[in-house]
Amino acid sequence: MTDSFSGPPLGKDPMTSTQKKTLSLQRRPRRNRKNASIRDLVAETHLSVEHLIYPVFICEGQNVAIPIKTLPGQERLSVDQLCLKLQEWKDLGLKHLALFPQIEEKLKDPYGKEALNDQGLLPRALKTLKDRYPDINLITDVALDPYSSDGHDGVVKNGKILNDVSVEILAQMALKQASWGADWVAPSDMMDGRVRAIRQTLDANGFTDTSILAYTAKYASSFYGPFREALNSAPKAGDKKTYQMDPRNSREALLELRLDFQEGADMVMVKPGLPYLDIISQIKKVSPIPVAAYNVSGEYAMIKFAAAAGALDENQAILETLTAFRRAGSDAILTYFAPQAAKLLRK
């Protein structure tokens, strides 16, 4: 079928001549876009507040809310402030929080021992939140970086990140978090075998109901910058390329999926999100378990700073971005936009 339309003859008013011309087209896809109710009827993808997990930063003190420079609109909150805000977020329909504690520098050491302290910031936050909001799902991160004086996710010896030693500590860390009330533990460390070790340790101690959200395809990415500012957790030396994945690879993500599934993960995650929508889509096609995506700090910052500069409409960009995550195959989305998106979705 050829549709030749070479434009109006020279010298004629283009409107009058195009009005006269009716193309003979069997297919006119625009008919399914002609008004909002038809577009809603045929929409393939749906985004709602149920899909959102809100990552929040917590810090010591009372009545503290410290803005994070590179994450406009996000703050480090003391536990009392977090409790107050949580009422608001809950009213918006949010049901899942991922907690990230900012650990004081003096408490950091090479083994991240503070991660196991029953009197630490994270256990205090978990207990307070669970008391006040028993039906909010609390997700805790399993990795050493916020606690480590080296700023790495595992233990560093002679410039190397040790796998098996780290896994042992991470499994203890997950067990502690479960005992403090975490509903989900989320290993973000990318050590080999950590999901198996965590599942075995949890089960051996009676925490068979604690779920594992595995950071399965977590890439060595430049998009974590604002997060590392928030927690002051950047590596002191080197980078994370010997454990986080190489952005050039996708088949490796399927290997990680197979392992995390076999080792007992309940949900898998792709991170970052936007530059890795292809990975989300590939994983979703074959994953027997739900797939989450992390719309990370750098992705949030891009939209916030672009909108502040007048380059785009912030609210539309947020909803378009989150919808793209769903279209690619994400069941759940971790995003700093969660409360703002929840408000937009209510309208």
Give the DSSP H/E element, type plus range, for residue 155: strand 155-157
* 227 contacts ligand PBG (rule: CB under 6 A): yes
Single out the catalytic residue among 108, 176, 218, 304.
218
Task: Please give the full DSSP string across 2-71, using - where no structure is assigned.
Answer: ------SPTTS-HHHHHHH-----S--GGGGGSSHHHHHHH------GGGEEEEEEEESSSS-EEE-TTS
For residue 34, indicate whether it is catalytic. no
Contact segment (CB under 6 A) with ligand PBG among 103-111, 118-126, 167-175, 222-230 equals 222-230
Cβ distance to ligand PBG smaller for residue 170 or 328: 170
Tell the smallest beta-carbon distance from residue 264 to ligand PBG (Å).
Answer: 20
* 188 contacts ligand PBG (rule: CB under 6 A): yes
CA-to-CA dists, residue 145 to 33, 194, 197, angstroms? 48, 15, 19
Q: Which two tokens stand for residue 72?
A: 């406009």
For residue 113, indicate whether it is catalytic. no
Helices 338-346 & 79-91, crossing angle to 10 degrees? 20
Q: By the 8 A CB rule, do 115 and 147 touch?
A: yes
Which of 81, 166, 282, 297 touches ligand PBG by CB under 6 A? 297
Which of 180, 219, 224, 243 touches ligand PBG by CB under 6 A? 224
Tell the smallest beta-carbon distance from residue 16 to ligand PBG (Å).
Answer: 56
* 145 contacts ligand PBG (rule: CB under 6 A): yes
Residues 123-142 that bind ligand PBG (CB under 6 A): 141
Determine if the peptide bond prior to 272 is cis (ω within 30°): yes
Single out the catalytic residue among 108, 176, 240, 271.
271
* 219 contacts ligand PBG (rule: CB under 6 A): no
* 75 contacts ligand PBG (rule: CB under 6 A): no
Q: Give the residues across from 332 on adjacent strands.
A: 292
For residue 118, what is the DSSP state?
A: T
Beta strand extents in 207-266 (DSSP E only): 211-218
* 260 contacts ligand PBG (rule: CB under 6 A): no
Catalogue the active-site residues.
218, 271
Which residue ranges make up the site for ligand PBG (CB under 6 A)? Answer: 141, 143, 145, 153, 188, 224, 227-228, 296-297
